[in-house]
Amino acid sequence: MSIPPRYQLTKNLVSLLGKLDTNRAVIDSLSLPPTVEENIRQASLLGSSLYSARIEGNRLTETDISSFRDLSSKEKQKVEVANLTRTISYLLKNILEINRLRQKISFIGMY
C-alpha cells in the first residue's frame, strides 16, 4: 500500500463522497443530550483502549471489561489508584528521560 494511497475520482466515488458530506452535515447539526454524548465518548474510549491493549497482547474482551461495572465501589477505587500510580510513574520516568535528552542536546548546542 502506497502512502498517500492512489485512487481515481470516478463518478461513483464523487457521488459517495457527496453523500458522505451531506450525512456528516446532518450529524454535525444534531444536538445530543449531554448524557448520551458522554456515554458515546466513554464507549469509544473503552473500545479504543481495549483494542490498543490487544495490540500489546492483552486478551481481555468487552465482556471482561463490562464486568468492571459489577465491582464494588471500593474495588473500583483500588483499581483506579493502581492505574493512577502506574500512569504517574510512567510519566515521571519519561519526563526525566526527556530532561536528560534536552540537557544532552543543549550541551552540544542544538537546543
Indicate if 75 and 65 belong to the same structural domain.
no
Work out how many domains the chain is built from and give that number: 2
pTM for this predicted structure:
0.42
pLDDT attached to residue 110? 57
CB contact set of 111 (below 8 Å; sequence gap of 6+): 102, 105
- Residue 89 located in a structural domain: yes
Indicate if 58 and 104 belong to the same structural domain.
no
Indicate if 27 and 60 belong to the same structural domain.
yes
Residue 108 pLDDT class (50, 70, 90 cuts): low
Give the largest Cα separation in the chain, rounded.
Answer: 59
Indicate if 60 and 28 belong to the same structural domain.
yes
Residue 30 pLDDT class (50, 70, 90 cuts): confident
**Cα torsion at 75, 40, 44, 68 (round to 10°)?**
20
CB contact set of 71 (below 8 Å; sequence gap of 6+): 79
pLDDT attached to residue 19? 96
Residue 77 pLDDT class (50, 70, 90 cuts): confident
Q: Which residue has the higher pLDDT, 46 or 26?
A: 26
64: domain range? 10-70
- Whether the link from the prior residue into 34 is cis, omega within 30° of 0, is no
